[in-house]
Amino acid sequence: MNNTSNLISSQEEEKLVKSNQAEKYLTLYIDGQIFAIPSGQVVEIVRIQNITLMPKLPPYVKGVINLRGKIVPLIDLRLKLSKPALEYNDQTSIVVTQVDDAVIGLIVDSVDDVTDISAADVNETPSLGREKNNDFVTGIVTLAKGPALLLNLNKILTENEDYQQLERKSQPEEDKG
């Protein structure tokens, strides 16, 4: 009996420690709103540059860039999140991300900074009377500069399997399988 209570309290303690641990997130802006993505999924941040357009892709897929010899497909995160289109300016950045084996560049209005976010501070996204929650957002956290939506890059990059189309189109012919 004593071993069981020790095991339970040990498991509860482990959960408490994990919920108090902070994870680093990159904060960025889209249409004046703060979003955050896990910094572990960020490869690098580059300024907006010339984009090679690719035909027959959804409007939020802007094309590809050549980043030091590697072809990187680009998604305009503003358009993917159903925000109005905006002309790119000197604040516009490309956040190069990696999810599983896919390397995708996300075009964002501006990049803010890296901040620690504790799991205990993350609130669930409200259902807003719908049966299905927004799969693009994993939670909401209140930062000093305002509320931030935590983005689920896996869902953003895999909805409708757009990233697979991008990967196939950005590979040289001999690599396609």
Edge to edge, the sheet with strand 110-118 lists 110-118, 22-30, 33-38, 146-151, 137-143
Is the pLDDT score of 139 beyond 80? Answer: yes
Q: Provide mean pLDDT across the span 7-31.
A: 72
CA distances from 17 to 20, 31, 66, 160 (A): 5, 35, 42, 37
Q: Provide mean pLDDT across the span 129-154.
A: 83
**Residue 160, helix vs strand vs coil:** helix
Q: Which residues does 17 contact at the CB level (< 8 Å), separation at least 6?
A: none
**Token pair for 117:** 């976010």
The reported pLDDT for the residue numbered 162 is: 45
Residue type at position 145: K
Report the alpha-carbon distance of residue 109 to residue 92 in Å, rounded. 5
The reported pLDDT for the residue numbered 164 is: 47
Is the pLDDT score of 6 beyond 60? Answer: no
Residue type at position 146: G
pLDDT in tens, 28-83: 999 999 999 999 999 999 999 999 998 999 999 999 999 999 999 999 999 999 99
Q: How confident is the model at residue 157 (pLDDT cuts 50, 70, 90)?
A: confident
Match 């205990």 to its residue by tokens.
120
Is the pLDDT score of 161 beyond 50? Answer: no
Report the alpha-carbon distance of residue 161 to residue 156 in Å, rounded. 10
CA distances from 143 to 20, 34, 110, 115, 176 (A): 16, 9, 17, 9, 44
164 in Cβ contact with 172 (< 8 Å): no
pLDDT in tens, 92-137: 999 999 988 889 999 999 999 999 999 888 888 776 655 555 688 8
Measured CA angle at 147 (ends 145, 149), to 5 deg: 125
**Token pair for 128:** 């807003």
Bridge partners (DSSP) of residue 75 are 61, 106
